[in-house]
């Protein structure tokens, strides 16, 4: 009875090695590979520099001169979100970007800083965006309310999109992995479920990369609108 009562606190093992240690090593190895060091070959450093260069070129291919100083900040945000999303796919790793508390802690301060800077640099121009050109005078009050609501909806959509997509993908992975384990008595069904699980995992890797790109691209788009 004592063993079954406290057995939930015993770590799962693979060849007498706790899985928690293996997952921690995988997470730390991600950090070791992205920083250049003499302990790694030049190929790894070259691959990381190539990935960083292609990411910057993809994210900022339409960057204006006024938004160029923000390139380093947005690049750091992109790789932070990308690292968290990918590390969260490892076993026994928690994806904090699937929680709205984390995504909004990034989206709201970034949105506020961009809009405050935009109003500071061009106050009249920012106010003119609340009334699109050619709006009939009778619709101006309604358009001001609509544009204001759309402005405040930007950080909500920015944070909710990232959290919702990652949560949905992780939930599907959990359900399929549980179904694969429970259907071990039926080899054919279990094999089909495992194949679907592997394909979904590959898709989730792509979703993790795409969501980091979408978050950074939208932040860059909001910056272009305000500066």
Token pair of 41 as six digits: 């070959």
pTM of the model: 0.73
Q: Give the pair of three-digit tokens for residue 27.
A: 């997470």
Dihedral, 112, 114, 119, 121 alpha carbons, nearest 10 = 150
Res 4 pLDDT > 60? no
Mean pLDDT, residues 170-191: 86
Q: How far is CA 104 from the centre of its chain?
A: 12
List CB contacts of 223: < 8 A, sequence separation 6 or more. 67, 70, 74, 114
Identify the pLDDT of residue 122.
73
Q: Greater confidence, 89 or 123?
A: 89
Q: What is the pLDDT of residues 164-177, one digit of tens each?
A: 888 888 888 888 88
Ranges 26-30, 56-60, 193-197: which has the least confidence: 26-30
Burial letters for 106-140: b for 16+ Cβ neighbours within 10 Å, e otherwise? bbeebbeebbeebeeeeeeebeeebeeeeeeeeee
pLDDT in tens, 25-54: 766 666 666 555 555 556 666 777 787 788
- CA 22: distance to chain centroid? 24
């Amino acid at each position: 009875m004592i063993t079954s009562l406290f057995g939930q606190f015993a770590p799962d093992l693979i060849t007498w090695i706790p899985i928690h240690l293996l997952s921690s090593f995988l997470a730390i190895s991600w950090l070791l590979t992205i920083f250049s060091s003499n302990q790694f070959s030049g190929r790894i450093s070259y691959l990381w520099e190539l990935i960083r260069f292609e990411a910057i070129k993809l994210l900022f291919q339409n960057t204006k001169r006024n938004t160029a100083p923000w390139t380093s900040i947005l690049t750091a945000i992109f790789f932070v979100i990308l690292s968290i999303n990918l590390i969260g796919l490892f076993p026994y790793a928690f994806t904090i970007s699937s929680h709205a508390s984390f995504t909004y802690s990034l989206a709201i301060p970034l949105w506020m800083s961009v809009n405050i800077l935009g109003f500071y640099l061009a106050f009249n121009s920012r106010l003119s965006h609340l009334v699109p050109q050619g709006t009939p005078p009778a619709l101006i009050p309604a358009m001001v309310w609509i544009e204001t609501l759309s402005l405040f909806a930007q950080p909500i959509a920015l944070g909710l999109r990232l959290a919702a997509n990652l949560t949905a993908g992780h939930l599907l992975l959990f359900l399929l992995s549980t179904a694969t384990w429970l259907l071990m008595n039926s080899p054919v069904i279990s094999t089909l479920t495992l194949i679907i699980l592997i394909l979904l995992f590959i898709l989730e890797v792509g979703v993790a990369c795409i969501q980091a790109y979408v978050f950074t691209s939208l932040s860059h788009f909001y910056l272009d609108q305000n500066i």
